[in-house]
């Protein structure tokens, strides 16, 4: 017969002497291991006549042993967990690490400044897609089929009729086509893409803000070349923080304007007297603009005889370079903290 009480008493004595994981494992193997007490008792079953009763007694004993061992095992795990928590504890009285606030990109802040200036003049902000159709990027803006800008070497084509926009004027063409014979004033900020080699003054990706004013000739509003000059003079004075700046318009050619002009602003450093920054000319080239070509109105569905307007395109990087006397456009994209922290407010 098996004396369960005696075996359990001996087990309790053995467990009381357990001091670490190694000694606990030794006791567990002694009673429950493959060559332990319970295993040996089960092997003795072949020599017992009443196997059923004997098997039941062994199973009862096994369950009792497992229960007592589990109690000790749970306690050891609890102690181990507490020790680990104490080891990993954080001293909340220690000073925290200093977290420096981030710095907004100088390009983003410059774009926001430009948007604010034009918003004060009544312009609304229009946003459009960067992946554009050939029609809205070129044809709707009077850039014919054989215009150089449509060449594969200058534009990122996705397929023959789809491309990454080369200017935000695509927003202008879409706005015109959805607001036929209506007056409006919009600016169109966003990223544009061209197949340029990156250097000090060029990038394959850059920020642009195009503007468009459309008026009915029969209304009280006007959109002449003089109005364009007045608008851009206000813009230059506001963005460069100098009320004494002047601008000049030089004849130029853009397929979507007639006439087209290049816009120069008087140098803010020498106030037009000539210096190294403006190459002794007193002027700095800033943007392109002009009166909207009649064909652009016609393609969009407008009555080209009743409507007129002007448009302009501003390179945000160009403005940031001039505003902060930065020499290399690549500085904007290299994430050099020494450069970025200069513009921390």
Euclidean distance between CA atoms 341 and 338, whole angstroms: 6
CB atoms within 10 A of CB 141: 27
Total domain count, the chain:
2
Cα–Cα distance, 69 to 15 (Å, whole number): 8
Alpha-carbon torsion 42, 47, 52, 58, what sign? negative
Does residue 93 form part of some domain? no
Same domain, 83 and 111: no
Q: Are 55 and 45 in contact (CB under 8 A)?
A: yes
In a domain, 62, yes or no: yes
Asked if residue 133 and residue 82 are part of one domain, the reply reads: no
Report the C-alpha gap between 211 and 233 in whole angstroms.
14
Please indicate, yes or no, if residue 94 is contained in any of the structural domains: no
Phi, psi of 25 (to 5 degrees): -60, -35
Identify the CA nearest to 235 among candidates 121, 323, 122: 121
- Domain limit, last residue, from 35, 55, 87: 87
Helix ranges (DSSP H) in the chain: 4-16, 21-32, 37-43, 51-87, 106-120, 134-137, 169-178, 225-240, 294-300, 316-324, 337-340
| Residue 112, both tokens | 């926001």
In 3D space, the residue among 211, 135, 197 whose CA is nearest the CA of residue 169 turns out to be: 211
For residues 276 and 227, state if they share a domain. Answer: yes
The dihedral sign for the CA sequence 304, 208, 115, 265: negative
Closest CA to 314 of 188, 224, 196, 204: 188
The rounded distance, in Å, linking the Cα atoms of 131 and 190 is: 12
Together in a domain, 196 and 263 = yes
Domain around 132: 106-343
Residue-level pLDDT, tens digit, the chain, 345 residues: 577 778 888 878 888 888 788 888 888 888 888 888 888 878 887 787 787 887 888 788 788 888 888 888 888 888 888 888 888 877 778 787 888 777 888 999 999 999 999 999 999 999 999 999 999 999 999 987 777 766 656 889 999 899 999 999 999 999 999 999 999 999 999 999 998 888 887 889 999 999 999 999 999 888 999 999 999 999 998 998 887 778 899 999 888 999 999 998 887 777 778 877 677 888 888 899 999 999 999 999 999 999 999 999 999 998 998 888 888 889 998 888 888 888 876
pTM of the model: 0.69
Q: What is the pLDDT of residue 149?
A: 62
pLDDT at 238: 92
* Same domain for 122 and 44: no
Residues 150 and 273 in one domain: yes
202 and 57 inside one domain: no
Rounded to whole angstroms, how far apart are CA atoms 154 and 325?
Answer: 29
**pLDDT recorded at residue 289:** 95
CA distance 221 to 235: 19
């Amino acid at each position: 017969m098996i004396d369960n009480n005696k075996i359990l008493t001996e087990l309790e004595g053995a467990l009381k002497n357990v001091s670490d994981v190694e000694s606990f494992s030794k006791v567990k193997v002694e009673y429950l291991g493959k060559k332990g007490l319970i295993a040996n008792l089960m092997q003795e079953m072949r020599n017992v006549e009443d196997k059923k009763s004997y098997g039941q007694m062994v199973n009862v004993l096994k369950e009792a042993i497992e229960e007592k061992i589990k109690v000790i095992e749970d306690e050891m795990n609890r102690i181990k967990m507490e020790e680990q928590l104490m080891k990993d504890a954080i001293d909340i009285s220690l000073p925290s690490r200093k977290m420096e606030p981030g710095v907004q990109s100088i390009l983003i802040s410059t774009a926001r400044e430009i948007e604010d200036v034009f918003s004060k003049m009544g312009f609304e902000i229009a946003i459009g897609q960067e992946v554009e159709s050939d029609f809205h990027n070129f044809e709707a803006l009077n850039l014919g089929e054989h215009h150089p800008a449509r060449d594969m070497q200058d534009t990122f084509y996705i397929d023959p009729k789809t491309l990454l926009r080369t200017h935000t004027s695509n927003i202008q063409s879409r706005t015109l086509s959805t607001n036929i014979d209506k007056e409006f004033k919009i600016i169109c900020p966003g990223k544009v893409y061209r197949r340029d080699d990156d250097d000090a003054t060029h990038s394959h990706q850059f920020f642009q803000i195009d503007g468009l004013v459309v008026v009915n000739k029969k209304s009280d509003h006007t959109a002449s070349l003089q109005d364009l000059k007045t608008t851009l003079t206000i813009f230059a004075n506001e963005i460069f923080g100098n009320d004494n700046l002047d601008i000049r318009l030089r004849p130029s050619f853009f397929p979507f304007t007639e006439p087209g002009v290049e816009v120069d602003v008087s140098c803010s450093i020498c106030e037009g007297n000539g210096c190294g920054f403006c190459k002794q000319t007193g002027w700095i080239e800033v943007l392109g603009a002009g009166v909207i070509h009649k064909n652009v109105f016609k393609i969009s569905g407008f009555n080209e005889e009743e409507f007129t307007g002007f448009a302009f395109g501003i390179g945000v990087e160009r403005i940031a370079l001039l505003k902060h006397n930065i020499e290399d456009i690549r500085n904007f994209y290299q994430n050099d903290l020494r450069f970025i922290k200069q513009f921390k407010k």
